[in-house]
Amino acid sequence: MTKDIKRVAVFTSGGDAPGMNAAIRAIVRNAFNNDLHIYGIMRGYEGMIDGNFKRLETTDVSNIIHRGGTILKTARSQRFMTPEGRKQAYENLVDNDIDGLIAIGGNGTFTGASKFMEEYPDMPIIGLPGTIDNDLYGTDFTIGFDTAVNTAVQAVDKIRDTADSHNRLFFVEVMGRHSGFIAIHTAIAGGAGGVLIPEEEFSLEDVVKLLKRGAKRSKLFSIVIVAEGNQMGTVYDIARKVEEQIDIYDDIKVTVIGHLQRGGSPSSFDRVLASVLGFSAVEALMSGKSGMMAGLRNNNVHYTPFSDAISKNKALNKDLLRMAHILAQ
Ligand code: F6P
């Protein structure tokens, strides 16, 4: 029997991602539209354990659609990984008469949600993919990815000016944890001379060959995008090893874009994606769905069980990869 949903709580968890606020706004506004009471849980699972709940009014989400970060704050909770932590969280939800949860986050968030649902199946949960990494199976894009790529591309455009002026080679490290989505999109949009990602094996010789090939075509400067999770090592190790092998450029430099990729005003794409998924999550809970992540597939909202979202591999598009390598030449 479908549970009657009257009081919903929303939280953000794991790494923040631009667009999380737009998702919270859509959830709150659609909850009001359906006469639901809506609560925000501060700092993700940490706040659930500490009982840090806040009643949200529709005015609380005014003027946030353009803001990066998350008004609900976020955390990576160690305590929620313990049965005692989850029990405390459940008791707090019951004390606050919460009938359903909306979790905005990434892999760790849904792993926690899955475990919680095994122990407390009477608490329905819908997830929204909020991570810059775009590494969740079941959605073409995650909330925050587009903004992070735009930030990285803007940085690469600036690096290009100085790399060109000085005839230098730059290795630019981007985030993405174990996946190369940010790297491949940044490389394509930034017109990079190469891209090193975790999904592909490559050796020092491959990198050197790539750069020598460019030099043969009189390329006096180059930018290589390095995904932080690549298999060869840190971007500094890669730069040092390459420097020992080639004498093409006036100098070799490293730039780590780092947490700049996590902040900033969300792109219009992320705002729309977050609004669509946030809006849908409320309706999904009301219709009795649970244990699923709302994602976008071929421009349609699609629900994927948490177990698939966290365990199935989201592969990079092979054609895109092939194209990226050819265009980098
Ligand atoms: O998952 C988002 C992400 O930014 C990854 O790309 C990165 O590896 C990680 O989080 C960094 O985490 P933290 O902000 O905890 O250092």
* 32 & 170 share domain: no
Q: Which of 175, 181, 182, 197 to mutate to test the pocket of ligand 1 (most atoms within 8 A of CB)?
A: 175
Does residue 327 fall inside a structural domain? Answer: no
Query: Does one domain contain both 57 and 164?
Result: no
123 lines ligand 1 (CB under 6 A): no
Q: Is residue 163 located within the same domain as residue 17? A: no
Q: How far apart are CA 206 and CA 220, in angstroms?
A: 19
Asked whether residue 167 is assigned to any structural domain, the reply reads yes
Show Cβ contacts of residue 102 under 8 Å, excluding neighbours closer than 6 positions. Answer: 8, 9, 10, 11, 27, 125, 126, 127, 128, 278, 281, 282, 285
What's the CATH code of the domain at 223? 3.40.50.460
Question: Which pLDDT belongs to residue 320?
Answer: 95
User: Does the residue 228 lie in any domain?
Assistant: yes
Residues 77 and 173 in one domain: no
177 pocket-lining for ligand 1 (C-beta < 6 Å): yes
Contacts 24+ apart (CB under 8 A), 50-58: 50/92, 51/92, 51/95, 51/96, 53/9, 53/92, 53/96, 53/98, 56/10, 56/28, 58/28, 58/29, 58/32
Q: Give 328 Cα–ligand 1 centroid separation in angstroms.
A: 27
Ligand 1 pocket, 198 CB below 6 A? no
Same domain, 14 and 131: yes
Do 138 and 251 form a contact (C-beta atoms < 8 A)?
Answer: no
Shared domain for 11 and 132, answered yes or no, is yes
**CB distance 193 to 219 below 8 Å:** yes
Annotated catalytic sites, by residue?
A: 133
Per the structure block, which two tokens stand in for 228?
């932080």
Could you please report the per-residue DSSP string of 26-66?
Answer: HHHHHHHHTT-EEEEETTHHHHHHHT-EEE--GGGGTT-TT
Ligand 1 pocket residue status of 112, Cβ below 6 Å: no
Residue ID of nearest Cα to ligand 1 atom 8: 177
For residues 70 and 184, membership in a common domain is answered with: no
pLDDT 10s digit of each residue in the chain, 329 long? 577 999 999 999 999 999 999 999 999 999 999 999 999 999 999 999 999 999 999 999 999 999 999 999 999 999 999 999 999 999 999 999 999 999 999 999 999 999 999 999 999 999 999 999 999 999 999 999 999 999 999 999 999 999 999 999 999 999 999 999 999 999 999 999 999 999 999 999 999 999 999 888 888 999 999 999 999 999 999 999 999 999 999 999 999 999 999 999 999 999 999 999 999 999 999 999 999 999 999 999 999 999 999 999 999 999 999 999 999 98
180 lines ligand 1 (CB under 6 A): no
Structural domain includes residue 317: no
Instruction: Answer yes or no: is 120 within a domain.
Output: yes
The CATH number of whichever domain residue 277 belongs to comes to 3.40.50.450
229 pocket-lining for ligand 1 (C-beta < 6 Å): no
Would you state the pLDDT for residue 105? 98
Q: Are residues 99 and 225 in the same domain?
A: no
Considering the domain architecture, whether residues 122 and 180 belong to the same structural domain is answered as no
Does residue 131 line the site of ligand 1, with CB under 6 A?
yes
Domain range for residue 74?
7-144+266-311
Residue 69 maps to a domain: yes
Question: Considering only CA atoms, which of 219, 229, 169 is closest in space to residue 199?
Answer: 229
- Residue 323 lies inside a defined structural domain of this protein: no
Task: Write down the pLDDT at residue 216.
Answer: 86
Which of 73, 133, 173 has most ligand 1 atoms within 8 Å of its beta carbon, as the pocket-test mutant? Answer: 133
Residue 180 corresponds to which tokens in the numbers above?
């190369």
Give me Rg for the CA atoms of the chain.
22
If one residue of 46, 262, 310 were mutated to test the ligand 1 pocket, choosing by the most ligand atoms within 8 A of its CB, it would be: 262
Considering the domain architecture, whether residues 133 and 199 belong to the same structural domain is answered as no
Number of domains in the chain: 2
Domain shared by 250 and 155, yes or no: yes
Q: Is residue 90 one of the residues assigned to a domain?
A: yes
Quote the ligand 1 centre to 43 CA distance (angstroms).
Answer: 16
Same domain for 240 and 169: yes
